[in-house]
Amino acid sequence: MVRNIITTYPNKELFEKTRDIPKDQIRSDTYSQIGSSMLEILRKRGGIGLSANQVGLPLNICVIELNSSNPMILLNPRITKYSDKMVPSMEGCLSLPGAELKINRHQNVVVEYEDVRGETQSIEAYGLLSSCLQHEIDHLKGILMINRVGNYHKDKAVKAVHRYKKRGRA
């Protein structure tokens, strides 16, 4: 169902907006299984967040696991509130292997989403969780971290990805 391959830059699928999952379909085991498979891939790759379009699925679902005791599967996540204060966040991305960028993110956000039971949840996030949620929700909108920086930093990041791939690591 979920392929074990991470889609990497410059694949055009990464720049396409995902589609919402109809609320009446969420309760099927399908989305719980997709989320569990994505968490497995995330753990194998050593990441903290993964979006469905990074594994070839055009669905509005992402997973986040900052620590093993609290894995999160978020369906149709949406940011409903942003703080005014912006903070720098050093970020990497499984779809941009070898690249690391400083991205300005909102210090905290409120995110609403459906869980795998179809229940609407809300989370107020700060720090790393806030940055990770913003990063993954960007993915679901077809926005990569390189779209959040100027051309100089974007070019450096793209070159880092090419070097990484050339060494046969991606």
Collapsed DSSP state (helix, strand, coil) of residue 20: coil
Closest residue by Cα to residue 106 from 76, 65, 148, 72? 148
Residue type, 21: I
Question: In angstroms, rounded to a whole number, what is the distance separating the alpha carbons of residues 71 and 88?
Answer: 25
pTM above 0.85, yes or no: yes
In this prediction, residues 87-115 reach a mean pLDDT of 97
Please give the CATH architecture assigned to the domain spanning 12-166. Alpha-Beta Complex (3.90)
Query: Is 136 a catalytic site residue?
Result: yes
Give the chain's mean pLDDT: 95
Report, in angstroms and rounded to the nearest whole number, the Rg of the chain calculated over CA atoms. 15
Mean pLDDT across 74-82: 98
Distance CA(61)–CA(21), nearest Å, equals: 8
Q: What is the average per-residue pLDDT within 152-166?
A: 95
Residue 42 has pLDDT above 90, yes or no: yes
Evaluate if residue 17 carries a pLDDT over 60. Answer: yes
The set of residues, in sequence order, having a beta carbon less than 8 Å from that of 78 and lying 6+ positions away, is 111, 112, 113, 137
Identify the band that residue 46 occupies on the pLDDT scale cut at 50, 70 and 90. Answer: very high
pLDDT at position 169:
59
Residue 27: which pLDDT band, with cuts at 50, 70 and 90? confident
- Rounded-to-integer distance, Cα 68 and Cα 157, Å: 29
What pLDDT, on the 0 to 100 scale, is given for residue 76?
Answer: 98
Q: What is the pLDDT of residue 28?
A: 84
Range with top average pLDDT, 24-28, 65-69, 109-113: 109-113
Identify the active-site residue in 65, 91, 114, 136. Answer: 136
Mean pLDDT of the region 53-62: 96
The better pLDDT of the pair 155, 4 is held by 155
